[in-house]
């Protein structure tokens, strides 16, 4: 399977939910049209807060942290590549390449990957949006697959 | 039919197919000197039977009438070597992973929890059939 093709497909799906800005912009444009000439007499429509935004932010931060530390760790290239794909699926930006991070020890890799798998599983359980849950559950499963390869699942 | 029920029924249908195909693969593998493959097929078969029963219970609990298995399912040909059987088993498992991912998206609460666990467990089990780790199993990503 093509990783890049899959990544784009997932990103589009994720954008429906994860890119809350899409909904917000659309709502603002629509409300502007509806208001017409009376726009100055009515308050601007405020989009409702995204109930999953804190999960999206935390998930992106988790993956960014892993990418940064694993990029400084020898023998972790496959994990870095995997987490970059997962971060892209959540519309997250990778950490800057100029960011200097400490390398993980082998035990730290396992501990952090296990912790991440647990967090993504929990977020998949608890988020409200189903499409987001699918991405989060897939990320959790992808992390667990890597742990199996390392013989530590 | 509610969204959840339709997704549960689709997943149950996928389990029926997986059980049929894995059973057939086990029969083909029985004549081969491949004890690890036979064990992996038996383990996968048992796991899918268990999930089928759990899904039937969930469908009934949602007020539905569980879909029945088809009389038979198409098997690829040829299936005479361990490599061919292994590849087909991996295809079955990956198809189920994608189905579980769809159920995650369509479900809530206990059904979603079940689907998340099934997705992860089955994805991890792909290694028994030579599957390599994927960044986003069930989403069509490599």
Backbone angles phi, psi at B68, to 5 degrees: -90, 160
Q: Is residue B111 part of a domain?
A: no
Q: Is residue B89 part of a domain?
A: yes
Its domain, for residue A19, covers: 3-149
Residue found by looking up tokens 């028994």 in the block: B128
Task: Flag if A10 and B115 touch (Cβ within 8 Å).
Answer: no
User: What does each C-alpha distance from A54 to A57, A58, A61, B3 come to in angstroms?
Assistant: 5, 6, 10, 26
Q: How far is A9 from chain B (nearest CA, A)?
A: 8
Its domain, for residue B49, covers: 3-93
Residue B22 clears pLDDT 60, i.e. is over it: yes
Average pLDDT over residues A36-61: 79
Q: Any chain B CB within 8 A of the CB of A116?
A: no
- Report pLDDT for A36: 39
Contact call for residues B16 and B69 (beta carbons, < 8 A): yes
Q: Is residue B133 part of a domain?
A: no
- Report pLDDT for B80: 92
Of the listed ranges A29-33, A106-110, B41-45, B52-56, the one predicted with least confidence: A29-33
Q: Is residue B138 part of a domain?
A: no
- Report pLDDT for B11: 98
Tell me the DSSP string of B3-35.
HHHHHHHHHHHHHHHHHHHHHHHHHHHTTSS-H
Q: Is residue B81 part of a domain?
A: yes
- Report pLDDT for A40: 53
- Report pLDDT for A41: 58
CA within 13 Å, CB half, A17 = 23
Confidence of residue A68 (pLDDT cuts 50, 70, 90): very high
Average pLDDT over residues A86-110: 90
Contact call for residues A74 and A103 (beta carbons, < 8 A): yes
Average pLDDT over residues A1-27: 37
The CATH number for B13's domain is 1.20.1260.10
Residue A21 clears pLDDT 50, i.e. is over it: no
Q: Is residue B13 part of a domain?
A: yes
Residue count of chain A: 153
Q: How far is B1 from chain A (nearest CA, A)?
A: 18
- Report pLDDT for A37: 44
Instruction: Give chain A's domain count.
Output: 1
What's the pTM?
A: 0.83
Residues contacting B31, CB < 8 A, separation 6+? none
Confidence of residue A47 (pLDDT cuts 50, 70, 90): confident
Q: State the CB neighbour count (10 A cutoff) for residue B115.
A: 29
Q: State the CB neighbour count (10 A cutoff) for residue B36.
A: 10
From CA B142, how far away is CA A146, in angstroms rounded? Answer: 13
pLDDT, chain A, mean: 78
Instruction: Give chain B's domain count.
Output: 1
Task: Flag if A141 and B119 touch (Cβ within 8 Å).
Answer: yes
Average pLDDT over residues A141-146: 97
Q: Is residue B56 part of a domain?
A: yes
Residue B34 clears pLDDT 90, i.e. is over it: yes
Q: Is residue B122 part of a domain?
A: no
User: What is the rounded end-to-end Cα distance, in angstroms, of chain A?
Assistant: 24
Residue B140 clears pLDDT 90, i.e. is over it: no
From CA B67, how far away is CA A151, in angstroms rounded? Answer: 38
- Residues of chain A contacting B112 with CB distance shorter than 8 Å: 124-125, 130, 133
- pLDDT tens per residue across span B74-123: 998 899 999 999 999 999 999 999 999 999 999 999 999 999 999 999 99
- Residues of chain B contacting A150 with CB distance shorter than 8 Å: none
Residue B66 clears pLDDT 90, i.e. is over it: yes
């Amino acid at each position: 399977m093509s990783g890049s093709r899959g990544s784009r497909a997932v990103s589009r799906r994720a954008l429906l939910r994860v890119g809350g800005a899409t909904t917000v912009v659309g709502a603002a444009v629509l409300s502007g049209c509806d208001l017409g000439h009376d726009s100055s007499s009515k308050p601007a429509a405020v989009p409702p807060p995204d109930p999953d935004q804190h999960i999206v932010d935390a998930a992106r931060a988790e993956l960014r942290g892993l990418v940064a530390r694993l990029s400084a760790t020898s023998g972790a290239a496959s994990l870095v590549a995997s987490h970059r794909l997962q971060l892209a699926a959540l519309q997250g930006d990778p950490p800057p390449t100029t960011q200097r991070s400490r390398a993980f020890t082998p035990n730290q890799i396992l501990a952090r990957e296990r912790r991440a798998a647990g967090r993504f599983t929990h977020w998949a359980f608890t988020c409200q949006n189903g499409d987001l849950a699918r991405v989060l559950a897939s990320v959790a499963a992808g992390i667990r697959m890597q742990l199996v390869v390392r013989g530590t699942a | 039919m509610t969204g959840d029920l339709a997704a549960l029924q689709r997943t149950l249908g996928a389990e029926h197919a997986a059980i049929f195909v894995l059973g057939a693969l086990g029969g083909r593998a029985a004549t081969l000197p491949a004890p690890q493959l036979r064990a992996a097929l038996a383990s996968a078969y048992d796991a899918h039977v268990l999930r089928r029963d759990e899904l039937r219970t969930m469908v009934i609990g949602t007020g539905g009438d569980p879909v029945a298995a088809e009389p038979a399912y198409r098997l690829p040909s040829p299936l005479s070597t361990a490599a061919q059987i292994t590849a087909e088993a991996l295809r079955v498992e990956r198809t189920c992973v994608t189905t579980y991912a769809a159920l995650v998206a369509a479900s809530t609460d206990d059904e979603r929890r079940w689907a998340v666990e099934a997705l992860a467990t089955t994805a991890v089990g792909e290694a028994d059939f030579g599957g390599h780790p994927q960044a986003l199993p069930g989403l069509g990503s490599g």
